[in-house]
Amino acid sequence: MKKSLLIIPGVIVLAGAGWLGATAWAGKTAQETLEKQHKMLADLPYFVVKKHNYQSGLFTSHERTTLALNPNLWRPYAEMLKLAGREIPELEFTYTQEIKHGPFPLIGKGDFTPLKAVVKTEFVFSPEANKWLTKLFGQQKPLEIENRIRFKEDGEFNIKVPGFTYEETIGKATWQGFDAKIVYGADFNSVDIEAKAPGIKLDAGTHGSGEIRNITFVTHNQRGASGIMLGDGKLSLEAAQFELKDEHKISAKLSGLTYVVKSAAQGDFINSAATVDLTKLELNDKTYGPAKLAVEANHLHAPTLAKLNKSVNALQKQQYKDAAELNTKMFDVVKAEGLPLLRNDPALALRQLSVKLPEGEVSLRADVAMKGFVDADISEPLKLINKLTAKADLTVPKKVIETLVLMKARSQIATDTADGQQPDTTELDQLARNLMENQIKKLAEQKLIQVDGESLITSASWKDGKLTVNGTEFPLPWQTPPDAGGEADIKPALVQ
């Protein structure tokens, strides 16, 4: 019995020592992980680290960081302020982090999830900003960020912006909040994001109103070829509507807007694609849509992209006397390090651009590729373009052209009328239509366009240094014309 009584305190002491040892280890390794994350942030071209301090403790540590927005990003705005004689502000912000060490950092809340650490982030705002934020959020924290670090240096960020209702004499705004979850792997070699903002409503009474509903963002990415993040992502907007009730009345309703990106590696090369889809846009009494834009960039040399990204980021971290100097250095870097992109036969494509207008549907498809590029071609433009192959197909309803021509004609007559009266445009419209029909006829005769019922169609290609439009070869100014004894017979006409 006496031995049992002696064993119990020993077990308690050992358990306590083990707990303290585990906490100390978790705190030390958590600091190493956070220092890695801080370096990733500091290496971004958007910020300059002004101050950084980490105070480690046994159970809890504290970190404080002050960042400034990179002056290169807002230099044009700063130059405008300087010319206006206004003071250029210091765009800085400070955040603090409270780091609770594992192995069970949430045990005080009854949560026994094993974690290396839990990090709470708070932003330090100026008194003026705090005053304004209190008006919006009341006693709620305007931004909450929690980082749960697991034992394999992976983890999860949870970000929350609460909702609020703010009202002034001119109107009322209702913000429904924002939530995001970011799950990351060790060294951020994988990142999955889910974010949602239910929306915001604006009501300006007799002046107008607006609403945005359900913005969501989902992405899945992993580090792939040459360390480049690859994967897919989708940004979507369910609906939006705006109405102005003043002198210039405008009513706009948008529904079903999505933006999708995808990228994948094929050996040392990256293929990427982006698509924008719009279901419908109602503008005053007219309906537009559906509309779609789909583009691709394929066979991009991954090692070159990674090298360019690193060099450009390094350039952006430096300070320059003006934007022109930065642009010159950027061009020099791209010229010196980006040529392997051209050497490896890149291809760009506009897979689809289609918009349904009240007058009909406009569609465009195009692609361009390069093959056989050598570095010397960069100094010889004619050789360079001869190594390109390209193709484009365009279809435009005649009614769309007519609408544009009439708008231009009416704007010119309205500008030229000095007495301010609205002239009768019937004769002007008919004249504009006649001129348009004549131009279409000339273009069709020259085989620059084809008339298919109420649609105008043209197809152009560039291959082996030759331009072909609708099956007819068109020599360019520097090329020998078909008739060596004089000028080329075909001279394209342009719609005025």
DSSP-derived 3-state class of residue 133: helix
Question: Has residue 379 been placed in a domain?
Answer: no
For residue 170, pLDDT beyond 90 = no
pTM of the full structure:
0.86
Q: Are 235 and 350 members of one domain?
A: yes
Q: Are 349 and 235 members of one domain?
A: yes
Residue written as token pair 């705004």: 173
Q: Are 42 and 137 members of one domain?
A: no
Cα gap 301→292, rounded to integer Å: 28
Q: 349: closest CA among 274, 289, 417?
A: 274
Cα gap 303→305, rounded to integer Å: 6
390 CB neighbour count, 10 Å cutoff: 16
Q: 183: closest CA among 156, 158, 159, 160?
A: 156
Q: In the prediction, which pLDDT does 80 show?
A: 75
Q: 184: closest CA among 194, 174, 176, 175?
A: 194
Residue 74, domain extent: 17-124
**For range 455-483, the mean pLDDT:** 86
Task: Give the total number of structural domains in the chain.
Answer: 4
User: Which residue did the predictor score with more confidence, 206 or 420?
Assistant: 206
Q: 383: closest CA among 341, 342, 334?
A: 342
E-state strands within 228-320: 229-244, 250-266, 269-283, 286-288, 291-301
Q: In the prediction, which pLDDT does 419 show?
A: 55
Q: Please identify, among 223, 241, 264, the residue that sits at the C-terminal boundary of a domain.
A: 223
Pairing status of strand 155-161 against strand 92-101: unpaired
Question: DSSP for 63-89?
Answer: EEEEEEE-GGGSHHHHHHHHHTTPPPP
- As to burial, measured by CB atoms within 10 angstroms (0-12 exposed, 13-18 middle, 19+ buried), residue 64 is middle
Question: Has residue 242 been placed in a domain?
Answer: yes
Question: Has residue 488 been placed in a domain?
Answer: no
| Residue 340 in tokens | 């392997």
User: Which of these ranges, 3-7, 185-189, 360-364, has the smallest mean pLDDT?
Assistant: 3-7
Q: Please identify, among 206, 223, 240, the residue that sits at the C-terminal boundary of a domain.
A: 223
Q: Where are the alpha helices (DSSP H) in 138-191?
A: none
Residue type, 493: A
User: Which of these ranges, 7-11, 210-214, 269-273, 300-304, has the smallest mean pLDDT?
Assistant: 7-11
**For range 207-236, the mean pLDDT:** 96
Q: What is the pLDDT confidence band of residue 257, given thresholds at 50, 70 and 90?
A: very high
For residue 484, pLDDT beyond 60 = no
**For range 164-187, the mean pLDDT:** 93
DSSP-derived 3-state class of residue 464: coil
Q: In the prediction, which pLDDT does 283 show?
A: 93
The tens digit of pLDDT for each residue in 340-391 reads 999 999 999 999 999 999 999 999 999 999 999 998 988 888 888 999 999 9
Q: What is the pLDDT confidence band of residue 413, given thresholds at 50, 70 and 90?
A: low
Q: In the prediction, which pLDDT does 492 show?
A: 47
The tens digit of pLDDT for each residue in 100-114 reads 998 988 888 888 899
Q: In the prediction, which pLDDT does 397 show?
A: 95
Q: Are 294 and 347 members of one domain?
A: yes
Q: What is the pLDDT confidence band of residue 140, given thresholds at 50, 70 and 90?
A: very high
Question: Has residue 45 been placed in a domain?
Answer: yes
Question: Has residue 3 been placed in a domain?
Answer: no
Helix 323-337 / helix 302-317 crossing angle, nearest 10 deg = 160
Q: Are 279 and 353 members of one domain?
A: yes
| Residue 463 in tokens | 């291959």
Mean pLDDT of the chain: 87
DSSP-derived 3-state class of residue 95: strand
Instruction: Answer yes or no: are the C-beta atoms of 195 and 217 closer than 8 Å.
Output: yes
For residue 488, pLDDT beyond 60 = no
Q: Are 82 and 199 members of one domain?
A: no
**For range 75-93, the mean pLDDT:** 74
